[in-house]
Amino acid sequence: MKQKLIALFFIFYITSLASTSSLYKSLKLKDKMTYDVFKNAVKGASKIKGIKSQYLTVIDFTKPSTEPRFFVMDLKKKKLLYYTYVSHGKNSGKVLATKFSNTPNSFQSSLGFFVTDTQPYFGNFGYSLRLKGLENRFNSNAYDRAIVIHGADYASKTYIDQMGFLGRTLGCPAIPTELSKEVIDLLSDNSIVFIAGNDNKYLKESRFIN
């Protein structure tokens, strides 16, 4: 019962904001994330039931990997908590992710809305947090594909300076190692993650943003 009340509060909080644009301004995102990406993230998050977290994470694959594109926002406090680098799948593209897939062994990133698993775990990539995809055809295989948030040395400004682009993954969103544990601990247990990308099929067919 308590979780349901918290979930209802979170959905009500998002949908009852004076306007999405005012929240966008409060978070000072103008030079970091386009309004369209933010609007889709907030709109989709408001449709997800059973959420008890005040945090919304956006991974913005419309931006190149040489720019910070991993955002963790506290919607209740209207504060941007993390703004950092994040890797995409090696078969999605080099500097910019242009190809996305829900297929196992595609080694591509998936788009859409996810919720985080209840507990982090130690896996092949160290301390990690599984993502559960909520959208059929776009990311519903994420859990079985072991798509996880994890830390990586190649998800860093140092790697970009050396190679000219960020290191890539088998499909996981990897973030800088020095931030990974605190981010994972914050986001564990049913937090919403939205992965955005320039993909017309997703933009036209996602039930969360349409």
Q: What is the pLDDT of residues 144-201, one digit of tens each?
A: 999 999 999 999 999 999 999 999 999 999 999 999 999 999 999 899 999 999 999 9
Give CA–CA dist 61/83, Å, rounded: 14
Q: What is the pLDDT of residues 5-49, one digit of tens each?
A: 455 445 555 554 448 999 999 999 999 999 999 999 999 999 998
The radius of gyration of the chain's CA atoms, rounded to the nearest angstrom, is: 16
Greatest CA separation for the chain: 52
Q: Stretch 70-76: mean pLDDT, rounded?
A: 96
